[in-house]
Structure 1
Amino acid sequence: MNSTTSSGPLLVILTTLLSPSLFAQQPLDGYIAEGLTNNLVVQQRTIALEQAMLGLKDARSLFLPSANLNSSYLSGEGGRYFDFPVGDLVNPAYSTLNQLIGSEVFPQVENVKGYLNPNNYYDAHVRTSMPVLNTDLIHNKRIQQQQVQLKDYEVDIYKRQLVKEIKQAYYQVLLADAGIRTYESALELLQRNLAVSESLERNGKGVPAQVLRSRSELERIRTQLVTAKAQGANARRYFNFLLNKPMDSAVDTQYDVRAALADTTRYTEVDISRREELAALRTGVDLRNSQFKLADQYWVPKLGTFIDLGYQGIDWSTDSNADYYLFGVTLDVPVFNGLRNRNQRQRALLGVRSAELEEMQVTNQLRLGADVARNDLDASLSALQSATAQEASARSYFNLIETGYRAGVNTLIEYIDGRNQLTSSEVQLFVAYYTTLQRLAELERATATYPLSN
């Protein structure tokens, strides 16, 4: 569901200032590409995606035959035994035959006493096994595929969040630089004014109060300049932190604000259908359904086959009687498991319902967030329009006061007040510009419109 809002005349201030030459490549795009490549969290999320893909490969490999070499050696004496009366069975017959022949051709045989524990016995074989019917493997592969999709969405979700943070951090750097330039300009003007006031005082044409007031105003602007420089340094450090660069790296501030503000004309409609969060939520529901199917089909028998090829014998014999093969089929049919399978099925069903409710809730939250971002952008555009008008008025007023002050018509207090109004309006105009850009970045994030290259 889309919601439609219109900026109306608020965009006139922007569109009238734009020309085709302003849409050149901005340095911010390069910083974003650099951040998406070097950011540590992106690298961590990418590693998690690669791990999930390896898990999917493992799930697929379970359908293939597996071969293992098994060997054992046993040797012992004593313990359990058995009596085999072979002498009692054959000796009477042997005695009769010897009497008939007249010669002791057939000797007497002793009864045998054998032990069950083998003595010097070995067994070495290769067992090859393969599943024939196992629904757990089918569902497990599907679950692993969906987990890979979720990890992929998580990477893109964080990338979009990182794009927004990089943009807002960059705008904060630009705002701090603009404030520094404004205060430096005001400081230079006040220094010239102080020099004039001191010269007038030395020549007996000025009063000490004017000099003191000029010095006080100069120190106030100097303090604001120091604060602005500190804010600018911190903004640069955070910006470089997002890019995983040295904190003191230089930042290219050659940025066309008006060209960037042209993007506001694209957001007459708010559409969240491109959000990766929605696809991730749907995949999460599908994953829960796969887990339910896995639990629901616990009763399906599991059928497998195996074959052993090897040698076994006594005293390490390897003659033709030692080699052997053994083929088998395994069948596992669940009969009763203390109702645990039924409980697992019910838990999986509740998990599906919980995922569906989460999808509904987050979808509504995303839609609300996009609408709020659109309204915030409209408010910022209105504030920008007002700040532009205020700055123009303050500049005109100061020019009049400055001319009158030089002519001796206006007082120093009026001059300083006019300068303060101009400085404040310039700062507020820069704040309005970069606040609008930050709101634009938030709306871009809310609608997932920034092109991500995978």
Structure 2
Amino acid sequence: MNIRNSLPVLLISVLGITQLPGQDFSALIATCWANNQQLKAHDFQLRQAEAALKEAQGLYLPNLSFGTQYTLAAGGRAIDFPVGDLLNPVYSTLNQITGSQQFPSLENQSIQFLPNNFYDARFRVQQVLFNPDLAINRALKSAQIDLKQLEIKAYKRELSKEVMNAYFQWRQADQAISIFQEADTLLVEAARTTQSMLRNGIALPSALSRIESEQASLKAQQIDAAANEENAWAYLTYLLGTNEERVNIILDMPDLPDSMSNPSGAREELAQLDQAIAMQQLAFEKEDRFYQPRLGAQLDIGSQAFDFNWAPYALLGVSLTWNIYDGKQHRYRQEQAQAAVDARIQQKAFANDQIELQKKVAANNLRSAILQAKTFQPRIRATEKAYREVYRKYQEGTANYLELLDARTQITQARIANSLARFMAWSKWADYIYAAASYPID
């Protein structure tokens, strides 16, 4: 089985792309952003914040509700009303004057306080006329949306770095298999040459045994390299969120990245701290409005009566709340808010210094990695030239098999080291792109 043909490579057919331009990771990153479950959770949290803002805006609108109450009562407190004692003498006199019985006698009444067979049905409209807390609440909800958007952008930037590094790791592991295959080709050719020399009595059987042992050792390295490539591919597909079959798609990258050719941008972490400062300032402003009044109005329109009769009514009320004294509690809360603002300002200054340091370190690491990687090409050419000379001498019988195997090992080690250095430079480039906020985040 040809190991090279079985290597996993990136499936990105869903994007309709078969090859990407140099240093353009937008398709890979877009796939990751579209499929990442954690990023989707952040999107739902953003929707939650947007709904909270709409709720805060709705507090300015009137609130209409309908309510009704029906009561049946028996017993309880009552008041005696001597209506008979008061009116019966008058009624009796009137009957005598008129010579009739038009005015009947009345019984004294006992009236219950609890209403029996009584209903009250009404529509109630409530409207805030002035409440400074509503403006603060709306501004806070809007700031929370901005903060959540910044969190999403920061997470996207982190994902972009992870995807690029995962891709470099996979390419390095993939290239290692190719290097070991080339080494195997050299050993096969050395074994064939040694067998020919054995037949001609030029070489000893121990030379062939040593080469075959080296082939077995190389086979173990190939198996390990294939496992490393498989693991690197698994991590890359995990980040991309795709389980599709593999097709050949390789980014057209130069051997080494450009040293800090990408412009720097603004890190989302600093913008998040700015937003946190603004939110703390809203808390300060809320306490600063402690002495402002709160005014509201309420209108009830309905009917209330006994025995389901119709007795419409309208009731308008205005409520006013005005804070006068609270033992300076709001002043202390204001001091807490101001202290929180000052703390956030210091945190931002510290974070800015950290980011600048991170950027400088990433830039230095990138320059160093590029310079180191450039030193390997002369080494590879030298080891290849040395191998050709040793191999020619081995065929002539003037060099032994140990020299040949050592020359082959030097080639393989130089190529592996070059591959590691090359993709290490690309990894440092990804770290610098992240630290400098160079990759555009939508």
Q: Normalized against structure 2, the TM-score is what?
A: 0.90
Aligned to 1:388: 377
Is there any run of 5+ residues in structure 1 with no aligned partner, and where?
1-21
Query: 1:374 is matched with which residue?
Result: 363
The one-letter amino acid paired with 1:303 is: L
8 A contact 2:23–2:253 mirrored in 1: no
CA-to-aligned-CA distance 1:281-302 (integer Å, 9 cap, x gap) = 1111101111221233233221
Counterpart in 1 of 2:296?
A: 304
Q: 2:261 aligns with which of 256, 266, 269?
A: 266
| Runs of 5+ unmatched residues, structure 2 | 1-18
Partners of 1:404 and 1:255 in 2: CA distance: 41
Indicate how the Cα distance of structure 1 residues 24 and 57 shifts in structure 2: closer, same or farther if over 3 A, else same.
same
Q: CA deviation at 1:211?
A: 2.1
User: Which residue is equivalent to 2:129?
Assistant: 132
Give the Cα–Cα distance (whole angstroms) in 1 for the partners of residues 96 and 204 of structure 2. Answer: 159
How far apart, CA to CA, are the structure 1 residues paired with 2:261 and 2:127?
Answer: 58
How far 1:34 sits from its partner (Å)?
Answer: 1.1
Aligned 1:206-221 pairs, distance under 5 A? 206-221=203-218
Quote how far apart the aligned CAs of 1:334 are.
Answer: 2.8
- 2:334 aligns to what? 345
Larger CA deviation: 85-94 vs 304-313 = 85-94
Distance in 2, matches of 1:51 and 1:183, equals 53
- Is contact 1:74-1:121 (8 Å) kept? yes
Cα distance per residue 1:145-190 (max 9 Å; x no partner): 1100011111111111111111110111110111000001101221
Amino acid at match of 2:217: R
Q: Which residue of 1 aligns with 2:242?
A: 245
Cα separation, 2, equivalents of 1:281 and 1:256: 38
Distance in 2 separating the partners of 1:415 and 1:84: 128
**CA distance in 1: counterparts of 2:303 and 2:22, whole angstroms:** 74
- Aligned to 1:266, the other structure's residue is in SS state coil
Counterpart residue type for residue 47 of structure 2: E
Quick check: 1:277 aligned with 2:273? no
Distance (Å, rounded) in 1 between the aligned partners of 2:245 and 2:154: 27
2:155 counterpart (147, 150, 158): 158
Q: Alpha-carbon deviations, 1:298-334, whole Å to 9, x = none? A: 332211111111122112223xxx1111111111223
CA-to-aligned-CA distance 1:171-210 (integer Å, 9 cap, x gap): 1111011100000110122123224334544654322321
Determine whether 1:31 maps to 2:14: no
Q: Which residue of 2 aligns with 1:5?
A: none
Aligned counterparts of 1:26 and 1:361: Cα–Cα separation in 2: 33
Contact map agreement 2:81 2:109 (CA 8 A) in 1: yes
Matched, 1:411 2:400: yes
For the aligned residue pairs, the C-alpha RMSD in angstroms reads: 2.1
Paired position in structure 1 for 2:12: none
Task: Write out per-residue CA displacement over residues 1-57 of structure 1, whole angstroms, 9 at most, x where no aligned residue.
Answer: xxxxxxxxxxxxxxxxxxxxx993667432222112111122111111111111111
Partner of 1:13: none
Residue 274 of structure 2 corresponds to residue 255 of structure 1: no
TM-score relative to the length of structure 1: 0.88
2:285: which partner in 1? 293
Q: Per the alignment, do residues 95 and 23 of structure 1 end up closer, same or farther by CA in structure 2, a change over 3 Å counting?
A: closer
C-alpha distance in 2, partners of 1:62/1:252?
Answer: 57
Q: CA deviation at 1:335?
A: 4.1
Superposed, 1:112-131 pairs within 5 Å as 112-131=109-128
What is the distance in 2 between the residues matched to 1:133 and 1:343? 25
- Map Cα deviations across residues 102-159 of structure 1 (whole Å, 9 max, x no partner): 3332122111101011111111111111111111110010011110001111111111
Q: Report the Cα offset of residue 237 of structure 1.
A: 0.6
> Residues 366-424 of structure 1, C-alpha deviation per residue, up to 9 Å, x if partnerless?
11111111011011011111122222222222222222222222221111111111111
Contact 1:169–1:235 (Cα < 8 Å) also in 2: yes
Q: 1:379 to 1:253 in 2, by over 3 A?
A: farther
Secondary structure of the corresponding residue to residue 258 of structure 1: coil
Cα pair 2:257 2:426 within 8 Å, conserved? no
Correspondence list, 1:43-192, <5 A: 43-192=40-189
Mapped contact 1:236–1:251 kept (Cα < 8 A): no
Query: Which shifted more, 85-94 or 42-51?
Result: 85-94
Q: Secondary structure at the match of 1:354?
A: helix
Name the % identity. Answer: 31
Which residue matches 2:232? Answer: 235
> Who is 1:448 aligned against?
437
* Distance in 2 (alpha carbons) for counterparts of 1:340 and 1:126: 39
Q: Which moved more, 1:333-342 or 1:293-302?
A: 333-342
Separation of aligned partners in 2, 1:195 and 1:416: 14
Distance 1:249 1:300, change over 3 A: farther
> For residues 314 and 23 of structure 1, what CA distance do their matches in structure 2 show?
83
Letter in 2 for 1:264: S
State whether residues 74 and 120 of structure 1, in contact with CA within 8 Å, keep that contact through their aligned partners in structure 2: yes
How far is the alpha carbon of 1:439 from its aligned partner?
0.8
1:6 match: none
Question: How has the CA–CA distance of structure 1 residues 27 and 333 changed in structure 2, closer, same or farther, with 3 Å as cutoff?
Answer: closer
Query: C-alpha deviations, 1:92-111, integer Å up to 9, x for none?
Result: 22222222223332122111
> Is the counterpart of residue 428 in structure 1 residue 417 in structure 2?
yes
Residue identity matched to 2:194: S
Q: Which amino acid aligns with 2:378?
A: A
Whole-angstrom CA distance in 2 between matches of 1:183 and 1:154: 44
| Corresponding letter in the other structure for 2:252 | D
